[in-house]
Amino acid sequence: MNRSAPTAYPWVYGLPVAVYYAALGIFQGYNAKYYQAMGIAADSTQMMLLMVSLPLIALAAQPVWGMVGDRMKWRNTSLAIMIVVSGALVALLPARGGFGWMMALSCLFAAFFTPIQPMMDSIILEDMHRQSAPFGPVRLMGSVGYALTNLLLASLFEGRFHLVPWATLIALAALYASVLVLPKLRGHQRGRVRVPVSTILKLPHMKQLLLLVIALQLAMGYFYSYFTLHFTALPGGTSGNLGLSYFISAVCELPFLLFSHRLYRRFGVGRLMVMSAALMTLRFLMTGLAPDATWLIISQVLHGGGFIVITVAMAMYINDTVPDELKSGGQMLLAVVGYGLARVFGTFGGGFISRWTGGTAGGFLAMAGLCLVAFLLAAPYFLKIGPLDGVKRPQPEPQGDA
């Protein structure tokens, strides 16, 4: 693949990334509180069903949108459709209709909102690859947007959770305007021989990488479902300290994002994720054994070596190695294993794990064990082979549709 000469760094691409993660921070962080404030979820079962609807629907919707994006004339068109429909569905949330109405809206919202990030990543990554520009600084803007949103809006929403849908709608409107700065990129399968998504799994080392992603993201799924409950149950676990801990976790992503391109080129995605497995083992061990919230705040420093390393390094590797015809489908596949499966496990399986292990603390110790097993199995494999950094890009021959 020929690359053009380096140009000025495209910082403008960070704008839609920052706005997207701000919107995610609002809806993901406060939608449960909105349901409670509106009296929609009458019991814990209804709340669980509302919360799990997003990742469950994402498991089906993201691969479909990947195929759609790869086959449309412009991938940007599919991105715009997702944002507009997501905004329309959020605007319907305040219309009181009970649990059934809210469940239907949540499922529809998930079908359009959850594929936004991988579709946007596929557009940005491909264009930055053409420019030989590192992705990390642009993704850094997402961490900044998420951190500032949690820091600034926590006090605003306290006692005013009815504002959550309107704040989300404003963020989605800003997102629609901001994605106009992105370059228009075609769907590579339009008018060509179809390339099946299964081609991705045939790439060297891809199955092993995805299995490691699944193991580590299952642990993160438990974290996202139960960290707040665990934190607030400990001495010192106030709402203010909780907001501070999330802010620290977002800020600690910045060092990796600033140097992600160099680290990825030097060590490769497999070795970086092995490092993540070790750091996540330590982090969840600290979380499970913590006597008070202070230790949980300290443990958030290790967040910068976990989720962000896994998702960014894998997104870069997929963009570098999958055939052009599967740029969108590859990022959607990563979203399925990195978001959908993890969140479903965290919501459904997390409750059983907590009961089996004697509470949320026991669950975090179990997640430390999962990460340790992943480290012990993955380290010998990925440390033995050369760095998987996308320099050699295997391009399987396109296959016709069956």
Domain annotation covers residue 346: yes
Of 133, 154, 187, the one marking the end of a domain is 187
Separation of alpha carbons 65 and 58, rounded Å = 10
Q: Which two tokens stand for residue 371?
A: 């990460």
pLDDT confidence of residue 197: 66
pLDDT confidence of residue 190: 56
Domain annotation covers residue 399: no
Q: Which two tokens stand for residue 161?
A: 């959770």
pLDDT confidence of residue 154: 66
Contact residues for 257 (Cβ-Cβ < 8 A; gap 6+): 136, 137, 139, 140, 143, 308, 312
pLDDT confidence of residue 15: 93
Write out the DSSP string of 198-235. Answer: GGGGGSTTHHHHHHHHHHHHHHHHHHHHHHHHHHHTST
How many domains does the chain contain in total?
2
Is the whole-model pTM more than 0.85? no
**18 and 163 share a domain?**
yes
pLDDT confidence of residue 399: 45
**30 and 73 share a domain?**
yes
Domain annotation covers residue 73: yes
Of 157, 187, 217, the one marking the end of a domain is 187
Domain annotation covers residue 398: no
Range of the domain at 242: 197-391
**166 and 215 share a domain?**
no
**257 and 146 share a domain?**
no
**183 and 259 share a domain?**
no
- Helix 307-321 and helix 206-232, axial crossing angle in degrees, nearest 10: 160
**228 and 124 share a domain?**
no
CATH number at residue 291: 1.20.1250.20
**289 and 159 share a domain?**
no
**174 and 210 share a domain?**
no
Write down the residue that tokens 């993955």 correspond to.
Answer: 378
In whole angstroms, what separates CA 377 from the centre of its chain?
A: 24
**90 and 172 share a domain?**
yes
Domain annotation covers residue 401: no
* Rounded average pLDDT per 10-residue block, the chain, 402 residues: 59 92 82 74 69 78 76 85 94 79 87 88 86 85 83 71 86 94 75 64 88 91 84 84 83 88 92 96 96 94 91 88 76 77 76 82 93 96 88 48 38
Of 131, 157, 187, the one marking the end of a domain is 187
Residue type at position 276: S
Instruction: Report CA-CA distances (Å) from 54 to 59, 112, 166, 200, 247.
Output: 9, 10, 19, 25, 24
**205 and 347 share a domain?**
yes
**29 and 71 share a domain?**
yes
Domain annotation covers residue 347: yes
Cβ atoms < 10 Å from Cβ of 186: 15
Domain annotation covers residue 3: no
Separation of alpha carbons 133 and 155, rounded Å = 38
Q: Are 332 and 78 in contact (CB under 8 A)?
A: no
Going by C-alpha positions, the residue among 208, 319, 218 that lies closest to residue 270 is 208
Domain annotation covers residue 192: no
**148 and 208 share a domain?**
no
pLDDT confidence of residue 85: 95
